[in-house]
Amino acid sequence: MADSTRTRLGCVLPVVCAVLLAGCGSTVSGHPASLSPTAVTRHVSAELPTLLPDPLQFPAPYAAVVLPSEAAAQAAGDLDGMGRGASVQPSGCVPPEQKFGPDQTAIAVGTDNDTRATMTVELTRTDEPLVSLRARLTKCGSVRVSRAGAASTVTTELDPPPQVDADDALALRRTVAPEVGGASLTQSMRTLIGQVGDVRISVTYMSFSGGKPDTVAVDELFAAVVRKVRKG
């Protein structure tokens, strides 16, 4: 190779390397995002009731009980504002049918008797990945629900997901406002949802006062339940 060619390459290569290194070291705006699982591939062998927190693990002043199957079905309907037998518009916002039974749905509820606020832990078996729920909630921010002659508007907003050791997680705020009855009957909820294998975990703070939710208690209880299911 001629000396002149070597000289030119010697000048060019450091410049190219400098450009490449500068590109690698540059800062890209935004937040890192992990890929959400698009399928449920793992079965958690432990039975759902054994994965619920003990009532004594609920934070004060929430006196907790584990619900029997029929009461669990009613409570689940309160949490999503729909429930069994409801008519939902738009029709594409109807969630998949939920199964109830000893190892299909398990719910424990803690109640603050002074404020009527509740803290509810719900565990469900599902073959639906959380990414599907997220997509449904995104397009169903406001739905009209009719059940037993009463109508309400269910409004849902997604919040940044919690940082927790689950396969996937999301957070939401929800209100269920009846068309008749006024603000005193409007349910306000903050919910954290996570999934570990085929078990979906939700912890919901619900009140009728419209006051600030007990976010610290929700966060701590949610993290504890996710850990328990992960060990399951």
Residues with Cβ within 8 Å of residue 93, at least 6 apart in sequence: 136, 139, 140, 143
CATH class given for the domain over 40-231? alpha beta
Closest by Cα among 58, 57, 55, 37 to 166: 37
Dihedral angle sign, alpha carbons of residues 18, 21, 23, 27: negative
The model's pLDDT over 142-172, given as tens digits with 9 standing for 90+, comes to 999 998 888 999 999 999 999 999 999 999 9
Reduce the DSSP state of residue 21 to 3 states and report it. helix
Residue ranges per structural domain of the chain: 40-231
Residue 209 has a pLDDT of: 78
Give the CA count within 13 Å in the CB-facing half-sphere of 56: 0
Task: Indicate the residue type of 182.
Answer: G
What is the pTM for the complete model shown? 0.83
- Mean pLDDT across the chain, nearest whole number? 85
Task: Indicate the residue type of 134.
Answer: R
